[in-house]
């Protein structure tokens, strides 16, 4: 294994081990199969992780979408916006969260900033132990560029959420395959 790969794996492991899952049960409880709609969002590479999570939510039988796609349905009170934002202050995403809040849409946030303005809007939030673009020094420094460590940790965190949702809803890999796209 290359030395760089070992360093990346060590960083991710350190970030995950240093994450205290305060708010996790509230975060998990916002995701339901009650007919409400879920819209996931995030900017840049964070958005890619959120898009993958929206796909897995659909595999779980949940009506989930990624904001920015042309097929996002009408949303309103009782629906859920799940936001990924390392800093919790990215202007475009913060504005979307503010709009969602005024429309009665619940907000679940995954961030790496305990003091982000989005946390004040969120009904539930989880803070990952990674640096973000607003970090001035961090408990978990990274050799990787920009916000890479948050993006990687977010994707792994969301995959672990899927495992807990499988248990919550009595889903299996086989039942999820039944909802997977067969045209690919």
Q: Give the catalytic positions in this structure.
A: 151
Q: How many helices (H) and strands (E) does the chain have?
A: 7, 5
- CA 47 to chain centroid: 9
CA-nearest of 105, 112, 136, 130 to 36 is: 105
Q: How far apart are CA 160 and CA 72, in angstroms?
A: 25
| DSSP 3-state of 140 | coil
Note whether 56 and 66 are within 8 A (CB).
Answer: no
- CA 170 to chain centroid: 22
């Amino acid at each position: 294994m290359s030395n760089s790969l070992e360093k990346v794996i060590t960083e991710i492991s350190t970030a995950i081990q240093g994450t205290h899952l305060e708010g996790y049960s509230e975060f998990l409880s916002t995701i339901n199969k009650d007919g409400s709609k879920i819209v996931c969002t995030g900017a840049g590479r964070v958005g890619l992780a959120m898009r993958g999570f929206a796909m897995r939510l659909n595999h779980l039988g949940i009506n989930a979408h990624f904001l920015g796609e042309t097929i996002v349905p009408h949303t309103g009170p009782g629906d859920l916006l799940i936001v990924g934002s390392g800093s919790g202050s990215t202007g475009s995403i913060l504005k979307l969260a503010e709009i969602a809040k005024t429309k009665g849409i619940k907000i679940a946030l995954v961030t790496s900033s305990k003091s982000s303005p989005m946390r004040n809007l969120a009904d539930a939030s989880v803070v990952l132990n990674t640096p973000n673009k607003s970090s001035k020094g961090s408990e978990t420094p990274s050799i990787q560029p920009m916000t890479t460590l948050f993006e990687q940790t977010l994707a792994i965190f969301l995959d672990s959420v899927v495992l807990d949702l499988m248990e919550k809803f009595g889903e299996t890999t086989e039942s999820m395959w039944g909802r997977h796209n067969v045209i690919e």
